[in-house]
Copies of this chain bind each other. A is one copy, B any other.
Amino acid sequence: MSKPIQTINRYKADLREMMFLLFEQFEVQNLLGKEPFEPWGEEEIRTTLNECYRWVKEVPGPLNVTGDIEGCKIENGRVVTPKGFKEAWKKLFEAGWKSIGVKPEHGGGGAPQSLRVLMEELQSGANTAFNMYPGLAFGAAEVIEAFGTHAQHEKYLPPMFDGRWGGTMCLTEPHAGSDVGSSSTTAHKEGTDGGYKIKGTKIYISGGDHDLSFEDNIIHLVLARVQGAPAGTKGLTLFIVPRVREDGTSNDVQVTSLEHKMGINGSATCVINFGDNDSCIGYPVGGEEQLNRGMPQMFKMMNMARIAVGIQGVALASSAYLNALDYAKERKQGSSITHWKDATAPRVAIIEHADVRRMLLDMKARVEGIRALAVKLSDHQDRATALAGKDDKLAAYHQGQVDLLVPLVKAYGSDQAFRVCETAIQVYGGAGYTRDYPVEQYARDAKIFSIYEGTNHIQSMDLVGRKLGQAGGANVQAFAGDIAKFVAAHSEHPTLGPSVKKLGEAQNAVTGTAMQLLTWFSTGNVGIVPLVSTRFLEMMSELCVGWLLLQAAVIAEEKKKGVAEGHPDVAFYTGKLHSAVYYASNVLPSVKEKASILAAEDRSALEIPAEAFATA
């Protein structure tokens, strides 16, 4: 007899922290009650988050463990999802959670991104695997919304937004992963209805088939190359390939197998063959004039997907932290260090032990940091949207920060999430390695985040190769200017000053490395750039997180003065101060260190001959 596996909801979120980010740090209330967020007030947002949290604990939350154990399977050529997923999909659309973010012109609630990103945290955190199905359907729908023709909008958006149809993104092929330009899926013009015959194999297609949607259809967005189009990414077109044709017959789309994975087992990761029988029909997103525009279209979608991956990381890291924290408060083990030689000293909760506290505060600071990063990005999105056509210069500033932050949210968010899940296991000790607690699954689920939607190295190349130079460098200069202003304003802060000074040092280090990168680029020393870019992204992320945590701490210090003794906010604001000081003291110094390591230009990894890696 094995132990029964815990299948209750274990998901925990920190709503107080979310409210702090929205209303105290980023002051989203300034955007509310007017265009384009007219229907939204502070109360609506608070209620929505509270209700959403309640709902995810009740519906997808209890399916997280069972979905992991059961996984997906193929029966009669079709994917069968874990028990309960179909019912959860139904409840999701009945409750209307997904439509809250949809634009009003398509019947949605038009919620600000900063709310959407936090709702996404709640929905993803409760059940990462389940949430990928509606997430991908909406991702695909939003590409059609952005680039499709009016007819395509009418045909596809309503059933994709209301849960009748699913959707996927089909990019990767067996020999085209990070190198998407090597795609060999082909498209040939067919007849006169605008259709193309699609032929090729796509792999790692999340939700490539499933049994969730109300009507049995899935809209695949498939990257393919029209005969005669240029090589590489410039010749790729994005096609709408419905699983079911308009006449109700099946399109020539076959799911041939599922991946066995380390985690997110409830999410069906499919190999799909398009056109095995030469009768797979697809339509270019946006029609003929959008041929060969697949990559720019994808990039819009990928930006959203990359932010979503960062949030997947925040979600699991946060729940891992909160679960470990509760365990640390309950689990009694050992006595206080001050009585360590006294065998009869009372046992204490492990939160009393210094190393456990260190791990907990480390997790707390990182979780708050990556969430702040994601909300900052979303806030810039909202402000760019609100200012569009009113103050184009300011809108461009905000959009520039969005672009700059996307790779940080995706890569740093996912890397830190895995680190936090690992630390959570360590806080639990042996219990954390078992399925009695949620953290081992979180770690398994989270490991994919550093890989999909562009590996974290791809993110770092996006940062150094595209984003730093974007708008002639104006975006990164604005970013640096914002931090410099903060440092100047607060470096003599009575309690946080020393930490703010560390932030200033970290900023100098990042600036130095950025200049170094420019020099490498401009002197033809481009070969060293990908060697250092992963670490540069980390440096810049740590700088940004350090800044955001200190910004929060300055606010918390001020707000704390107005709180009555005994109110939970005293503890909350105190916690914000400690997160910031911990991060500034324990993480920010490594930014300087990395800068000096990179400046030394160690080329051993470039120079080692391939055969010298091992001669076994």
The one of B260, B418, B436, B612 in contact with A575, judged by C-beta atoms closer than 8 angstroms, is B612
Main SS of chain A's interface residues? Answer: helix
A611 within 8 Å of B by Cβ? yes
A572 within 8 Å of B by Cβ? yes
Contact, CB under 8 Å: A260 / B2: yes
Given A1-B257, A443-B262, A612-B571: A581 and B597 interface contact (C-beta under 8 Å): no
Per-residue interface assignment for chain A, residues 501 to 521, with 1 indicating a CB less than 8 Å from any chain B CB and 0 otherwise: 000000000000000000000
Bound Cα distance from A460 to B14, whole angstroms: 32
The one of B256, B347, B451 in contact with A429, judged by C-beta atoms closer than 8 angstroms, is B451
Bound Cα distance from A258 to B231, whole angstroms: 56
Contact, CB under 8 Å: B258 / A606: no
Most central of A172, A344, A433 by chain B CB within 10 Å = A433
Considering only CB atoms and an 8 Å cut-off, how many residues of chain A contact the other chain? 123
Contact, CB under 8 Å: B435 / A261: yes
Bound Cα distance from A605 to B364, whole angstroms: 11
Interface residues of A in 1-49 (CB under 8 A from B): 1-3, 5, 12-17
Contact, CB under 8 Å: B175 / A332: yes
Bound Cα distance from A531 to B337, whole angstroms: 11
Shortest distance from the beta carbon of A162 to any chain B beta carbon, whole Å: 31
Interface residues of A in 167-197 (CB under 8 A from B): 172, 175-179, 181-182
Q: Which residues from chain B contact A176 at a C-beta distance below 8 Å?
A: 333
A94 within 8 Å of B by Cβ? no
Q: Which residues from chain B contact A360 at a C-beta distance below 8 Å?
A: 605, 613
Interface residues of A in 323-358 (CB under 8 A from B): 325, 329, 332-335, 337-338, 343-344, 347, 351, 353-355, 357-358
Q: What would 29 A/B residue contacts be, using CB atoms closer than 8 Å?
A: A1-B256, A14-B616, A15-B616, A16-B614, A17-B616, A179-B335, A179-B347, A260-B436, A262-B434, A263-B433, A269-B434, A338-B526, A353-B530, A358-B605, A361-B605, A362-B605, A364-B613, A422-B447, A429-B451, A430-B448, A430-B451, A443-B447, A571-B609, A574-B609, A575-B608, A578-B607, A578-B612, A589-B593, A590-B590
7 interchain residue pairs of minimum CB distance = A232-B343, A575-B612, A585-B602, A262-B440, A260-B435, A14-B616, A354-B530
